[in-house]
Structure formats: structure tokens, C-alpha cells
Amino acid sequence: MNNRFTTTLNSFKAAALLLFLLLSFSAFAQQLQINAGIDSTSIKIGEQIIYSIEVETDSTNLVVFPEGQTFDPMEMVESLGADTTTVEDRFRLLKKYSLTQFDSGAYTIPQQKIIIQNREYLTDSFRVEVADVKVDTTRQKMYPIKPAVDVPKPFSIPNWIWWLLAALVILGLAFYFFRRRKKRKEAEPELPPYEQAMFELKQLDNSSLLQDREIKEYYSNLAFIVRKYLDRKIYDRALESTTSELIAYLELRKQAGELSLKDKSIDNFQQLLKRADLAKFANSRPDVITAKSDRTKTEHLIKDIRQVVPEPTEEELMQDEKYRTEKLRRKRRNKILAIIGGVLVLGIIVIVVLVNTRGFDYVKDSVLGNETKELLEGDWIRSEYGTPSVTITTPEVLVRKAVDRDNELQELLLGSETFDSGTLESNLYILLITGPVNPQSDFNLDKAVDGIYENLENQGARNIIMKEEEFSTLDSAKGIKVFGTFNLENPITGGPIQKQYAIINLGENGGFQQVMVVFDEDDKYAEEILQRVESSIELRNQSN
């Protein structure tokens, strides 16, 4: 009896526990709802689908959505922000992901893990078909293959130019330090000629050249002292003249009566210079007594010259002052020229390095300026234009203008608004047209595109090459892109201007939208502007 009662009691407890768990799970399930889905099960290569996860839960629960490339084999392009709305006392969270695939085939998006209050939940898996993009050759105009074009070799600087530049820099630095040392030496205050000569002779006496038997150095200094004195007092080329030239000059001055030196003084001077030449160039070594005697004769010669050469007159002193002023002016001018030359050499080196590393076009555009480059690197403007509205980002704000519409476009549209910047002949021209479609007209995008060729011709375009391809904006609006090249007559020179163009044609929100960008052919900066403008086009749904 007791066993049966115990068994019945245990069964009752188990049933009560199971009932409690079911009620708890049911209450939790009412508080938690998870839904996942995709906006399309079939796309073309490169197109994007939106994967959405919606969670409705209590406001106190922490929800963690999938992050990273968890959708493989699909590739996540962008993780959009989570939208939060309030439903009574609960939160409804909506998380979206933009997915794509660049290979055709059938792919399965795996289950995604969602964590809510440290518990994991899995979404359903989805199958997506990715199809190839088919090209309609019946509508696509065919063009002959262009002949091969010789591509110029990229500019490169030979290695020997770098070695030459390095050598010039080294020579320039050496010259700079040499000139600096020379100027410092010249800037030192110098005594009058006689006092300077006596001072230098005293310095020579105090040296140990004779004691150390440095005869060559001793005679070099002795000859330099007397030559320097003569250079400052009589003959301004005494330092660079040879012995025979200097003696011949002194004798000529004496014969002309301009210099009353004794023959003995000239002879002693000649012997001194010859001994100095032999000591310097023939390694002759006169004895110490002879060297001291020549030193005494040098002092007497300097004193004799001082006596026979009169002191300069006031006029000579003024001329000398004028000469020194002119010399100082020339030094300043040469210094300025040297600085300018150094700056030019440095500028050339910098330009050469930039050309070698960044290219000639980059240096030319940076130094001389480039209008489209400045537009590309300037502040861009994002604005909304017309009705139906077109939101677009451009380098310059588009200005409203009044234009005459052709008959065909007038029949298709109830009205249109036109905005542009620049002119067709300028480096960059941007045009935007938008307007509502006439509901009574037989409007289709292909019919609007067919009139582009005639419209370009009416604006003066010649040799027009047109290509077409499908176009899609970031907000998935579909359209047709017409692009190519044409020639335009230069209004100044009369010659042709090579132009590239791209025309985006869209038919969304009950209207027709057209964006045209025209620029000079092979302008890489304008091509970047075109790509940026195209990627910024956005059409707002009027129903929203």
C-alpha cells in the first residue's frame, strides 16, 4: 500500500514539474519572437540582397546579432544599423545585412546565431540563386575593334643622373664651407700694411720653425709677408706674380722715377725670393745664419719701401673707400646669387624626386594647377534637386536653368526641371534633369534613351560613340547608362576637343531622371569625379 502511494506521489510530482516547464516556456515564448528573411531569392552576379533579422523581446534582455562574415558562401557587403521600436512594454529590433555573390550558382545562407540573455537561438537557412548577366546583342550597338595603340614607356630617370645630383650636392656643400671659412678670415680686422708686416715678422720670430729645421715653411712665410706688404702698398698682383715678374715691375717703377728704392734693396729682395723658391720647389736647405740674415733684410726692405712710398692722398683714400664699398656690394650680390642658385638646385632635386616617385603629371598638376584636380580634392556638396527628387553629391552646387525641351521629351513628361554646373566646353560639365512622367504617354526608358544621340548632335557634338549598360543606384533603382566619346569644336581655336561622357537614365517614382557628366578625354581626375557622382545618386521614394 505504501509503495503504491509513493509511486503515485512521484508521478504526480513529475507531471507537475513538466507542466511548470511548459507554462514557463510558453510565457517566455510569448515574450520572445525571432524572424529572419531575405528580400529576394534570385539575383544577378554582383547584385545585393537584404538579409533581415527581427527580434521582439523584453526591454531588459540583451540581444547580440551576428557579426563578421558569418553568411558564407554569401559575402557581407555592409552591416546596417539596428532599428529599435517599442511595442507596449517590449522592444522590436530590426537588423539588416547587405549580401552579394560574384559567382553564378545556387547558394545556401547558413543558419545565423543570435544570443539573447546568454542563450543561443538559430534562424532558418535560405537558398539564393545567382544568375549570370546576359548581354542583349540585339539592342547593343556593335563597333569595330580599335587598332592597337602604342603605349608610351613610363618616364624613368637614368641612374647616372642620381650620381650627378649627389656629386653636385657634395660639391655645393664643399664650396659653401670653403666660402664661409674664407669670409670669416676676410672679416677679421687687419692692421695697416706696415704694422701688419711687423706683427707677422714678430710672430715668425716667436715660432719654432728654425729650431725645428723647418726651413721650407720658414722661407714660405717670410716671402709671403713681404709679398703681401708689396701687394697692399705698391703692386696689387704681387702675391700671384713670379719672382722675375715682381723684380721686373720694381725696376720698371724705379726707372720711371715712381719708386726710389736702392739697387741693393732690390738685389737683397731678389735673393730672398730665389732662396724661398729653391726651398719650396727644389728642397734647398739654407743654414740658420743665412735664414736669420734674410729675415733682417726683409725688415729693412719693408722699412725702405715705407719711406719711399708716400702716404695716400685724401682723394686716393676716397677712391679706396669707394673701391671697398663696391667690393662689398659685389660680395653681397654674389651671396644673393649663390642663395638663389642653391634654392634652384634644391628645387630641381625635389622636382626630380617627385617626378620619379609620383609621376610627371602629378608634379605638373601640383605646380601649375589643374582645375578638375582642385574640384576633386575640394569640398563636395550633397543636395536634393527637383521633383521627383534626386539626391546627388557634386563638386559644385548645381544651379537651376531654363531650357527648351525637344518635342519628344515634352510629350513624355508633364514638366521638367534642369540643373547644371560648368559648360559643355569646360573641363567638367554636370547636368541633372528630373520631371514627372505624363500618365497619358507611352513612356519607357528605352524611348528616352533613343533621343540622346540627336540631343548631343544638336549641342554640337560630332563623331559620337555610344555604348550602353545597365545601371543601379545604391538604393537599388534600375536604369540605363549611356557612355562614350565625341568631338566638340573649340570656340576659340576652332579645333576639335576630345570629350568623354556618361549619361545615367532612370525612371523611378513616377518620373524620369537623367544625370549627365561630360569631361575632357583621358582626364583621370574627372574620371574619379564621375565615379563619385555616379555612386552618390539616390532617388527617394515619394510614397515614403
Note the pLDDT of residue 395.
93
Instruction: Dump pLDDT digits (tens) for 506-540.
Output: 988 888 888 999 999 988 889 999 999 999 999 86
Q: Are 420 and 514 in contact (CB under 8 A)?
A: no
Task: Confirm if 373 and 494 have CB atoms less than 8 A apart.
Answer: no
Using CA atoms, how far apart are residues 31 and 28, in angstroms rounded to an integer? 5
**In degrees rounded to 5, what are phi and psi of residue 487?**
-105, 145
Characterize 426-445 residue by residue with b for buried, 16 or more Cβ atoms within 10 angstroms of its Cβ, and e for exposed.
ebbbbbbbbbbbeeeeebee
pLDDT given for residue 183 in this prediction = 65
| Pairwise CA distance, residues 42 & 106, whole Å | 9
pLDDT for the residue numbered 543: 44
DSSP string across 331-388: HHHHHHHHHHHHHHHHHHHHHHHHHHHH-HHHHHHHHH--HHHHHHHS--EEEEETTT
The structural domains of the chain, with segments of one domain joined by +, span 33-131, 193-308, 316-369, 371-539
Regarding beta strands 42-44 and 126-131, do their DSSP bridges make them parallel or antiparallel, or are they unpaired? parallel
pLDDT of residue 28: 45
SS3 content of the chain, % helix, strand, coil (to 5): 45, 25, 30
Q: Which pLDDT score, from 0 to 100, does residue 25 have?
A: 43
Question: What's the CA gap between 177 and 34, in Å, rounded?
Answer: 81
Profile the chain (544 residues) by mean pLDDT over runs of 10 residues. Answer: 53 55 46 84 89 86 84 87 78 88 88 87 90 64 61 62 80 80 62 83 86 85 86 81 85 80 82 85 82 86 79 60 74 83 79 70 70 88 89 92 69 82 89 86 75 81 89 86 90 84 89 91 90 88 48
Cβ 87 vs Cβ 65: under 8 Å: no
- Give the C-alpha separation, 216 to 284, whole Å: 8
Grid cell at residue 243: 719672382
Contact 37, 21 (CB under 8 A): no
Evaluate whether 105 touches 130 at the Cβ level (below 8 Å).
yes
DSSP secondary structure letter of residue 495: -
Cell of 221: 712665410
CB crowding 265-276: b at 16 or more within 10 Å, else e: bbebbbebbebb
| Annotation: CATH topology of 33-131 | Immunoglobulin-like (2.60.40)
Contact 510, 504 (CB under 8 A): no
Contact 421, 398 (CB under 8 A): yes
DSSP calls for 80-133: PPPEEEEETTEEEEEEEEEEE-SS-EEEEEPP-EEEETTEEEE---EEEEEEPP
Is 193-308 CATH 1.10.3470? no
Domains 33-131 and 193-308 agree in fold: no
Protein fold of 371-539: Protein Transport Mog1p; Chain A (3.40.1000)
CA distance 350 to 345: 9
Please tell me what DSSP assigns to residue 321.
Answer: H
Residue 279 neighbours by CB distance under 10 Å: 21
Judge residue 394's burial from the number of C-beta atoms within 10 Å of its C-beta, 0-12 exposed, 13-18 middle, 19 or more buried.
buried
User: Residue 269: what pLDDT?
Assistant: 83
What is the distance between the alpha carbons of residues 241 and 317, in angstroms, rounded to a whole number? 25
